[in-house]
Amino acid sequence: MFHKLFFYEADIPWILRRSTKSFKDPSECTEELITMLKVNTQVLCLMQQQLCEQSRPFEELKIGYFNQFAKCHIKKLLDIAVCLSETVWSATHICPMLLAYEALMDVLPLIQKFASSESGDFFSIILRNMREAFRKLIGHIKHFIQSNMEKHQDDVAIHPMTCFLICSMKSFGSHRNLVQSTLAPGDNSSSFGHLLYDVITCWKSVLTEHSNIYRADLQRQYIFLLNNAYHFNTKTDGLLDLLLSDTQIIKQHDDEFKLLFRKWIDSYTEEACTPAKSCLNPNCWWGSQRRSLVAFTSKFNKTFDRQKTWKVPDVVLRQIASAGAGYIYTTETLETTVQGFFEG
């Protein structure tokens, strides 16, 4: 009776009849799966609400009927959720993974409201799968940085893996509550702060090792390291502490980075300045002093030119800035210029 009054098979969205087996790689169709979850969960919620609002009597009977009617469709939604939670995500799929997990956390409480008691295990399984997949993703990120650090042998100021790490951290920052509270909670070695610290430590280690491609030119090697460290610190300023969260981890990271900076700066200074300083001899005659000053100036200028060429905070910004012209406006001149666009 209720089926005839309220629901027809045509009312069920077609996508609920689609099997998750048709998705060979869920990581490649995340957007479609998220749409399936969100839209069809809302449809079922609205159908339940519509049924209960038809008339107040027999409310328990109607809810019971709906649960029976929607049972197989809820099961399909849970299958989609499990499919997403079991997906193996590569290091280049951080954003799709986090978007999928945000969607799961949005719809699972809604599904749970009208899911049958035998579906209860699904929710704990899905959460466990998500946490396990997230830990695997962290491992994939470290492996991705290690394997790709050596592949890029181009003579660049900022290594692509430094940029990748920064982008990854910004993605995590956009979903900070999800990664810290749901996917990697707690304050032990499996917490997100510890996992991220391990990733940064991995990056520092392989970056230092990769810098050996410049070992024939130690000045360039240290400038390469300083460029990347400076770029990383600048781009993650303010975000890094929020992601690491634990004060002890933050302090450990800061102390280690300061020590590295000091070491690289001292080493660079020694390599860059020693040749120039060796030209100066305060005990020689005036004529010799003049010749040594000329030699000092030549070596100093060579060092300065090298530093000018390599010590750049942002290589992309440097390229863009050199290709265009800049205009500086005061508030008054900007207002006049904008008005001129409209007034002719």
**How many other C-beta atoms are found inside a 10 Å radius of the C-beta of residue 208?**
14
**How far is 280 from 341, CA to CA, in rounded Å?**
61
C-alpha atoms less than 13 angstroms from C-alpha of 320 in its C-beta half-sphere: 5
> Which residues of the chain fall short of a pLDDT of 70?
1-28, 54-59, 115-120, 153-154, 280-291, 306-344
Q: What is the pLDDT of residue 31?
A: 82
Q: What is the pLDDT of residue 209?
A: 94
Q: Quote the distance between the C-alpha of residue 268 and its chain's center.
A: 31
Q: Kindly report the pTM of this predicted structure.
A: 0.76
Per the CB < 8 A criterion, the answer to whether 304 and 273 are in contact is: no
Q: What is the pLDDT of residue 334?
A: 57
